[in-house]
Amino acid sequence: MKFGEKANFKDVTKASYIEPFPAIDDDFVLVEKTVAYLKPRLANEIKLAPLTRKMGTNRNKLNKAFKTYYGGTVIDWLRQQRMQMASELLVNSSLNILQISEKVGYQDSNNFSTAFKQKFNLSPRNFRETSRRTVQISKKPSQKSKVNSQ
């Protein structure tokens, strides 16, 4: 049978069975909706109770959904996102540690530094210095290329 031709019952019953689209998991929808809400608000103070109300669910259901899709609670996910953003800002910006801590949702830069050190095993300052040193080293021409160019 060609596209556009009328199908008769015989042709339809001979056709192979096509699986319907899988049902979209409610937990997946909840997680995606929550992530979409949180991503632009990483700098904001996030409290779990208002968040669950906003998402139309409860703490246990939200955390269970996040554990299924991200391996941790919504707060674990939020902390991970904040630390990732902080590491990028430390490497790619001239913002000071206090400014970065505020940009990623920490009102207290000491709490930020403690959380950052737990995640990366370096203080924010040492992380910045180490990453900048690494970038500078990788930009220097190698000794071998200097010798070849003479």
Model confidence over 111-124: pLDDT tens digits? 999 999 999 999 99
User: Does any domain span residue 65?
Assistant: yes
Specify whether the CB–CB gap between 91 and 83 falls below 8 A: no
DSSP H stretches of helix in 96-150? 97-103, 109-120, 124-139, 143-149
User: Does any domain span residue 29?
Assistant: yes
Other residues' Cβ atoms within 10 Å of the Cβ of residue 135: 11
**DSSP state for residue 87 in the 8-state scheme:** H
Q: What is the CATH number of the domain that holds 125?
A: 1.10.10.60
Q: What is the pLDDT of residue 133?
A: 80
- The residue-averaged pLDDT of 40-56 equals 96
- For the chain, give the percent of residues with pLDDT over 70: 75
Structure tokens at 36: 């979409």
Residue by residue, DSSP assigns 8-59 as: PHHHHHHSPPPPPPPPPPHHHHHHHHHHHHHGGGTTS---HHHHHHHHTS-H
Classify 122 in phi/psi space as left (phi over 0), alpha (psi -120 to 50) or beta: beta
Higher pLDDT residue, 134 or 56?
56
- As for how many domains the chain has, the answer is 1
Which domain, by its residues, includes 81? 23-131
Q: What is the pLDDT of residue 8?
A: 54
Q: With a cut of 70, say whether residue 50 has pLDDT above it.
A: yes
User: Does any domain span residue 147?
Assistant: no
User: Does any domain span residue 77?
Assistant: yes
Specify whether the CB–CB gap between 112 and 101 falls below 8 A: yes
User: Does any domain span residue 138?
Assistant: no
Q: What is the pLDDT of residue 3?
A: 43
User: Does any domain span residue 145?
Assistant: no
User: Does any domain span residue 127?
Assistant: yes
Q: With a cut of 70, say whether residue 69 has pLDDT above it.
A: yes
User: Does any domain span residue 14?
Assistant: no
